[in-house]
Chains A and B, each alone.
Chain A
Amino acid sequence: MKLFIKFDFNTVCRKVLEEKLIQHNIKHKILGFGEVDILEKPDTDVFKAFAEELKGYGIDIIENQKSVLVQKIKDTIIEMIHSPELVNVKSSVYLADKLSHSYGYLSNLFSDVTYTSIENYIILQKIEYAKQLIVSTDLSLTEIAFQLNYSSVAHLSTQFKNATGITPSAFQRIINKRREIANKK
Chain B
Amino acid sequence: MDKDYIHIILADDDEDDRLLFTDAFDELKINTKVNTFNDGVELMDYLNTPDAVLPNVLFLDLNMPKKNGIECLYEIKSDDKFKDIAIAIFSTSSSEEHIEETFVQGANIYIKKPSDFTTLKKVLAEVVTINWQYHTSGLNKDNFLLRL
Residues of A participating in the B interface, judged by any CB pair closer than 8 Å: 9, 58, 74, 114-116, 121, 124, 128, 131-132, 135, 164-166, 170-171, 173-175, 177-178, 181
Q: B66 at the A/B interface (Cβ < 8 Å)? A: no
A1 vs chain B, min Cβ distance (A):
19
A158 vs chain B, min Cβ distance (A):
15
Which size bracket describes the interface of B in this complex? 20 to 34
Q: List 8 A-B contacts (CB under 8 A).
A: A115-B129, A116-B132, A124-B130, A131-B140, A135-B143, A164-B145, A173-B100, A174-B103
Pair A165/B103 contact, Cβ less than 8 Å: no
Distance in angstroms between the alpha carbons of A116 and B30 in the assembled complex: 11
B138 vs chain A, min Cβ distance (A):
6
Contacts of A170 in B (CB 8 A): 100
Q: B20 at the A/B interface (Cβ < 8 Å)? A: no
Pair A132/B145 contact, Cβ less than 8 Å: no
Q: B52 at the A/B interface (Cβ < 8 Å)? A: no
Identify which of A115, A124, A165, A178 contacts B147 (C-beta below 8 A).
A165
Q: B29 at the A/B interface (Cβ < 8 Å)? A: yes
Pair A74/B146 contact, Cβ less than 8 Å: no
> Per DSSP, are chain A's interface residues mostly helix, strand or loop, or mixed?
helix
Pair B143/A116 contact, Cβ less than 8 Å: no
Distance in angstroms between the alpha carbons of A170 and B146 in the assembled complex: 12
Given A114-B136, A124-B130, A178 and B104 contact (CB-CB distance below 8 Å): yes
Identify which of B133, B138, B148 contacts A58 (C-beta below 8 A).
B138
The 10 closest A-B pairs by CB, nearest first: A165-B147, A131-B143, A177-B104, A174-B103, A115-B129, A166-B147, A174-B104, A115-B30, A164-B146, A128-B139
Identify which of A121, A164, A178 contacts B133 (C-beta below 8 A).
A121
Distance in angstroms between the alpha carbons of A47 and B103 in the assembled complex: 43
Given A128-B139, A177-B104, A181-B104, A165 and B133 contact (CB-CB distance below 8 Å): no
Given A174-B100, A178-B104, A181-B104, A128 and B143 contact (CB-CB distance below 8 Å): yes
Distance in angstroms between the alpha carbons of A164 and B108 in the assembled complex: 10
Contacts of A132 in B (CB 8 A): 140, 143
Contacts of A58 in B (CB 8 A): 138
